[in-house]
Amino acid sequence: MASRMSIISDDPALSEELKKTFQRDDWQIDSYAQPLQARGVLLEQAFEPRVVVVAMRVLSQEALDELKSLHDSMECGEWIYLIADQEQSPSAQVNRLAFDVLDQPADLERLALLAQRAWRSALTRWHLRHYTTTERKRFSFEAYQGTSPAVEEVRSLLKQLSDVPLSTLIITGETGTGKGLVARILHYCGERHKEPLVELNCAALPKELLESQLFGHEAGAFTGARTRHHGLFEQANGGTLFLDEIGDMDLELQAKLLKAIEDKKIRRLGGEREIDVDLQIFAATSVNLEQAAREGKLREDLYHRLSVFSIHLPPLRTRKEDMMDLVPRIVAEFNLKANKKIDVIPNKVWEQLMAYNWPGNIRELRNVIERCVLLSKDEVFPARWLQLPDSETASSRQPSSDEAALLVPLDGSMALEEIDRMVIQKALKLNNFNVTEIARVLGTTRETLRYRIQKYDLKQRA
Ligand SMILES: Nc1ncnc2c1ncn2[C@@H]1O[C@H](COP(=O)(O)OP(=O)(O)OP(=O)(O)O)[C@@H](O)[C@H]1O
């Protein structure tokens, strides 16, 4: 796709200079002396990603209104403003519209780099917009599969919630029960489906990085912040911000998050002005938030704010009848992906599948089935690759040897975090640092596990 640029400038010499500079970098340029002239072309190609450079000597309110109306109708463009009058700081209105604002005369090399970044951002938005149509089909209510009454109830709640203008929602459930899936369904089936869905796993990042990811930063806000960065709140503006593992967020950051939710405004790190944001926030967690709030790990006020609407996803072990629906679907999916042809699931396979407790829920079920399908040789589901523990429930599962057992004192001598560390340390030793396998054994995601390995500094010492 050609990189297209529009230059809007009432200074013919500057317009010519910019044109020559960008043409050398292979941009396709069209230029206009006034915003009104640009209208026809820009609106006709509204769905094309492009960069618009505005370099007006006089930026009247009338011109600004015209630029704003163009900006709002062009869904996939990024705007760079060159402001000549250094005495006068750019108005809040320009700041709202701009991908970035540079003082004029601008360093052309910097401008060229900025234009490249703006183009990438415009292109991403364009892709997202087109991608949204397919995602909307993929994440219909029926994507949350199962036929049990518990699943029917979740589906009916999802339908109800998708009609409500949600500002916050909390999704709870054990790992692998479909919290991410449900967030996508609610986004793509809801009113904001044309706007972005932006996801962040709060457990995967250290505090400082998480903060700048969420709120963005200005150039020079901290060492290494060379350019302005639009945070996830801004990237998700108009749409949905999905915060996974919210229970792992630092308390100070929780306070900032709550303020952003309540004020509908954020401030980039190192930034002076507040930026309006209008989005819905879905937060997911596999820990008991009520308890986390009681223990002081989650701010009570944030907990109450987030849990105005909540949805709980039932674990697979409480609705095993859903296996009859899920297993054939998953087998068919991996048959297709791996060009396999399983069409018989023997009784002994069903017996093992139904007897197992599935602590990692649907994610674990999918992983097990994927392995079996990939290793299958004919049309019969290979029982030997199930490799599930025999016993009926996880709680009654006996460790295969003393080596695989862990004695945890519950007399108050060890804090929950220390127990967490000990469990992971033991699992690392037993599984030879195979993160994928340990994540499966502990029924969690690789990201969460990696984060904890780093947090407890277990790399060398396990
Ligand atoms: N009811 C369901 N029907 C179909 N697929 C499901 C269902 N529930 C979960 N899945 C699938 O299981 C996998 C894990 O789901 P997901 O990542 O949404 O779980 P999660 O609860 O967010 O897990 P975690 O807490 O570990 O992040 C995904 O591939 C998802 O599509």
Q: Atom 27 (ligand 1): residue with closest C-alpha?
A: 175
Q: What is the pLDDT of residue 396?
A: 43
What separation in Å is there between the alpha carbon of 450 and the centre of ligand 1? 19
Mean pLDDT of 194-212: 87
Q: Which atom of ligand 1 is nearest to the CA of 154?
A: 1
What separation in Å is there between the alpha carbon of 362 and the centre of ligand 1? 6
Best residue among 177, 199, 370, 442 to mutate for probing ligand 1's pocket (most ligand atoms within 8 Å of CB) is 177
More confident residue, 112 or 96: 112
What separation in Å is there between the alpha carbon of 162 and the centre of ligand 1? 19
Q: What is the pLDDT of residue 132?
A: 66
What separation in Å is there between the alpha carbon of 178 and the centre of ligand 1? 3
Q: Which atom of ligand 1 is nearest to the CA of 173?
A: 21
Q: What is the pLDDT of residue 322?
A: 95
pLDDT bin (cut points 50, 70, 90) of residue 128 is low
Q: Which atom of ligand 1 is nearest to the CA of 362?
A: 12
Tokens 């309006």 belong to 276
267-285: per-residue pLDDT in tens? 999 988 889 999 999 999 8
pLDDT bin (cut points 50, 70, 90) of residue 302 is very high
Best residue among 181, 316, 321 to mutate for probing ligand 1's pocket (most ligand atoms within 8 Å of CB) is 181
Instruction: Indicate the pairing of strand 77-83 with strand 100-103.
Output: parallel
Q: Which atom of ligand 1 is nearest to the CA of 444?
A: 26
Tokens 């020559």 belong to 20
Q: What is the pLDDT of residue 432?
A: 74
Tokens 């593992």 belong to 245
What separation in Å is there between the alpha carbon of 150 and the centre of ligand 1? 16
ipTM: 0.98
Q: What is the pLDDT of residue 1?
A: 57
Q: Atom 9 (ligand 1): residue with closest C-alpha?
A: 178
What separation in Å is there between the alpha carbon of 193 and the centre of ligand 1? 20
Q: Atom 13 (ligand 1): residue with closest C-alpha?
A: 363
Best residue among 334, 362, 441, 444 to mutate for probing ligand 1's pocket (most ligand atoms within 8 Å of CB) is 362
pLDDT bin (cut points 50, 70, 90) of residue 141 is very high
Domains of the chain: 4-127 (3.40.50.2300), 139-312 (3.40.50.300), 316-385 (1.10.8.60), 402-455 (1.10.10)
Opening angle at CA 217, ends 167 and 132, nearest 5: 45
Ligand 1 binding pocket (C-beta < 6 A) is: 144-146, 173, 175-181, 244, 284, 286, 362-363, 366, 444-445
Q: Which atom of ligand 1 is nearest to the CA of 448?
A: 26
What separation in Å is there between the alpha carbon of 275 and the centre of ligand 1? 34
Opening angle at CA 28, ends 24 and 34, nearest 5: 110
341-379: per-residue pLDDT in tens? 998 999 999 999 999 999 999 999 999 999 999 999 999
What separation in Å is there between the alpha carbon of 126 and the centre of ligand 1? 28
Q: Give the number of C-alpha atoms closer than 13 A to the C-alpha of residue 15, restricted to the C-beta side.
A: 17
What separation in Å is there between the alpha carbon of 181 and the centre of ligand 1? 6
Best residue among 323, 358, 363, 438 to mutate for probing ligand 1's pocket (most ligand atoms within 8 Å of CB) is 363
What separation in Å is there between the alpha carbon of 42 and the centre of ligand 1? 42
User: Are the CB atoms for 462 and 425 separated by under 8 Å?
Assistant: yes
Considering just the CA atoms, what is the radius of gyration of the chain in Å? 27
Q: Atom 23 (ligand 1): residue with closest C-alpha?
A: 176
Give the list of residues 6+ apart from residue 226 with CB closer than 8 angstroms, or none. Answer: 219, 220
pTM comes to 0.66
Give the list of residues 6+ apart from residue 277 with CB closer than 8 angstroms, or none. Answer: 233, 234, 237, 260, 264, 265, 266
Q: Which atom of ligand 1 is nearest to the CA of 329?
A: 4
Query: What is the dihedral sign for C-alpha 251, 256, 258, 259?
Result: positive
429-449: per-residue pLDDT in tens? 787 777 888 888 787 888 888
Instruction: Indicate the pairing of strand 280-285 with strand 28-32.
Output: unpaired
What separation in Å is there between the alpha carbon of 147 and the centre of ligand 1? 16
Q: What is the mean pLDDT of the chain?
A: 85
H or E element in which residue 304 lies: helix 300-306
What separation in Å is there between the alpha carbon of 363 and the centre of ligand 1? 6
What separation in Å is there between the alpha carbon of 175 and the centre of ligand 1? 8
